[in-house]
Structure 1
Amino acid sequence: MQEFSKIQELYLKLSIIVPIYNHWHLVPNLISHLKLQTLKKDDYELLLIDNASEKVPDTLSLPEFAKLLHCKTPGSYAARNAGIEKALGKILVFTDADCRPHPDWLTQGLRCLQEVNTTKVIIAGAIQIIPANDHANIYELYDMTLGMPQERYVLRGYGITANLFVPRAVVDKVGLFDQKRFSGGDADYCRRAGQLGIAIRYCAKALVTHPARNSWHALANKVRRVKGGQLTAGTNSRKMLFAVRAFLPPIHAWRHTLVEKRLASRQRVAICMLQTKLWLVEMHEVIRLMCGRPPMR
């Protein structure tokens, strides 16, 4: 553990980087959860990057460990890049305004870094999707079943920025996010890191919760954003792959849903039907983008 003890001496702070686009009403709850962290407050900072919101609250009150930054370039990855450039931490921690970190989130993330004993790694923390109450509707059940399977993402070689720990040494080697993307910039970043020999590890104990999407509008918009991120950036061959894949039936999602033991039979069928409707949205979005329309932010 000698290498990590040297790392700890350098890691005087973690920088938590959160892009904000209009969702300032979520920030007080995020801050209240960060105040409960078991890690000493002197060891981390919170950077809130306003991404050209229509309005930032005039009465915004931030704790001492938080800073407000501004990024006029549209897109959450552009905002995250702005945060990276101002961050003081040797570990950059990414999450979103609507996430709720557990009290030992930062401590467990650091512990996972200690266990791998290197800075040449990205840690992807767990994301638990939770409904608004005990009576989840079909949209919430869908999101809880298929929404953010971080552990499965890691098996595919990436993690998402709802819960990601990235040592500064990784950023120095890989560079910044692709700010042209409105979606999928995290997967692209992790894959670029992988090509440079940087591993990604899943950390189940570094946990944040995320509210389940509870409407058709929310789920359909996510599908459109994801497809926009896939088809408007990256190599032409990869964009073609994503375009073709959009027209293939979502067999993996159906299969995963049908074997989900926490669901009743009728819920499995309903989620598969909902997935089919979202597949139609996905195909329509591909056609729209191929006709030259702009991606959804």
Structure 2
Amino acid sequence: MTGIPSTPANTAHSNDAAEEPSRPVCSVIVPVYNHWGLVPHLLRCLRAQTLAQESFEVLLVDNGSTDYEPPQSLPANVRILNCETPGSYAARNGGIEAAAGDWLAFTDADCRPDPRWLEAMLARAQQEGRMALLAGTVEMYTDSARPNAYQIYDLIRGIPQAHYVSRGYAATANLLVHRSVMEMVGGFDATRYSGGDTAFCRRACASGYSIHLVCEAVVRHPARHSWGEVVSKARRIKGGQLLSGSKRMRGYWVLRTLMPPLHLYYRYAMAGQYSLRYRVIALAVQSRLWGHELREMFRLLIRPACRERK
């Protein structure tokens, strides 16, 4: 299923039917799964936006959290929705259905948008028009003065949005799409736990839409600080690669997983903005992670129903 969900099991429903004095220009859609402790930080960043608060709404879509603890009070332009179908892309689809704005902005609960994020995105949208998908910059960060090996690895690997855009897709950590694109192309593939943003963007580009990088629209993402977090992301990505898409693409990812990740080794080695020590650490963590990806691939091929979710 690749369209926006319409069945009761897949549709997000509002917990707080707040009255809206006027229709917002933009709806910010944020899936939340066991990250409610991070939501107040995100809301502070959105409260600091240079775009007028009445010009956008924020839809927090809970995706079956086991530690559901939303903030006790919410700004007037923030609503909480529920989505019963597991997976962040199902939650985003639910947010799309409930959204009041014509422009749909996507980010994640652990992200920190810069104050000019929405203003920069919408300014570029005025230039490019409704036929464009707009992807903002994603900058990795850590609050630690002495980051550990896994934070160093995630800082260097990052979310290279410019590289993604050059290949026709973008991460939903920082993406703006007009509602008409969703209506024409269909929403995210709700069966995916990973890779739904890539599949959606490529489907849109194949239908005649274009994708552009908006360098000045910045969202900051924290570097993962533990081996468990790094492995969890890798398992989720591997599940998206091996359990979704055409048989040809799944076969491609099997072969790709069997090969050493030389393209990543090269990118880390050439990341001259980081010290040699940092680059060596990133290479070592990637080598260790490749072994786990191989094991995860064989596990999924034997037991495809057992996959990681965010």
Alignment TM-score, normalising by the size of structure 1: 0.93
Matched, 1:280 2:291: yes
Offset at 1:12? 4.4
Offset at 1:133? 2.1
Secondary structure at 2:152 match in 1:
helix
Preserved CA contact (<8 Å) 2:139 2:158: no
| Distance in 1, Cα, partners of 2:24 & 2:79 | 17
| Distance in 2, Cα, partners of 1:72 & 1:60 | 22
Offset at 1:230? 1.2
Offset at 1:58? 6.6
Secondary structure at 2:288 match in 1:
helix
Secondary structure at 2:175 match in 1:
strand
Match for residue 64 of structure 2?
Answer: 52
| Distance in 1, Cα, partners of 2:270 & 2:69 | 46
Q: Name whichever of 264-273 and 93-102 sits farther off.
A: 264-273
What residue ranges of structure 2 are gaps of 5+ in the alignment? Answer: 1-22
Match for residue 43 of structure 2?
Answer: 31
Query: How does 1:121-140 map onto structure 2 within 5 Å?
Result: 121-140=132-151
| Distance in 2, Cα, partners of 1:181 & 1:256 | 27
Once the two structures are superposed, residues 45-76 of structure 1 have per-residue CA deviations (whole angstroms, 9 ceiling, x without a partner) of 00011111113227632110000110011000
Q: Report the AA paired with residue 275 of structure 2.
A: A
Secondary structure at 2:258 match in 1:
coil
Offset at 1:280? 0.9
Match for residue 16 of structure 2?
Answer: none
Q: Report the AA paired with residue 61 of structure 1.
A: S
Matched, 1:89 2:89: no
Q: Report the AA paired with residue 57 of structure 1.
A: E
Which of 204, 208, 213 is the matching residue for 1:202? Answer: 213
Query: How does 1:80-159 map onto structure 2 within 5 Å?
Result: 80-116=92-128, 118-159=129-170
Query: How does 1:56-75 map onto structure 2 within 5 Å?
Result: 56-57=68-69, 60-75=72-87
Match for residue 4 of structure 1?
Answer: none
Match for residue 165 of structure 1?
Answer: 176
Q: Name whichever of 257-266 and 168-177 sits farther off.
A: 257-266
Preserved CA contact (<8 Å) 1:19 1:96: yes
Preserved CA contact (<8 Å) 1:132 1:212: no
Preserved CA contact (<8 Å) 1:109 1:125: yes
| Distance in 2, Cα, partners of 1:56 & 1:214 | 23
Match for residue 261 of structure 1?
Answer: 272
| Distance in 2, Cα, partners of 1:270 & 1:29 | 30
Once the two structures are superposed, residues 79-131 of structure 1 have per-residue CA deviations (whole angstroms, 9 ceiling, x without a partner) of 00000001011000000000001001000001221232x21110000000001
| Distance in 2, Cα, partners of 1:284 & 1:121 | 39
Query: How does 1:222-233 map onto structure 2 within 5 Å?
Result: 222-233=233-244
| Distance in 1, Cα, partners of 2:162 & 2:235 | 23
Once the two structures are superposed, residues 254-294 of structure 1 have per-residue CA deviations (whole angstroms, 9 ceiling, x without a partner) of 11111111222232222111111111111111101000241
| Distance in 2, Cα, partners of 1:240 & 1:92 | 34
Once the two structures are superposed, residues 196-250 of structure 1 have per-residue CA deviations (whole angstroms, 9 ceiling, x without a partner) of 0111111111101011111111111111000111111111111111111111111
Preserved CA contact (<8 Å) 2:36 2:70: no
Calculate percent identity across the aligned residue pairs. Answer: 43
Which of 165, 183, 206 is the matching residue for 2:194? Answer: 183
| Distance in 1, Cα, partners of 2:193 & 2:65 | 15
Match for residue 4 of structure 2?
Answer: none
Secondary structure at 1:246 match in 2:
helix
Q: How many residues align?
A: 286
What residue ranges of structure 1 are gaps of 5+ in the alignment? Answer: 1-10
Q: Which runs of 4+ in 1 moved over 3 A?
A: none
Alignment TM-score, normalising by the size of structure 2: 0.90
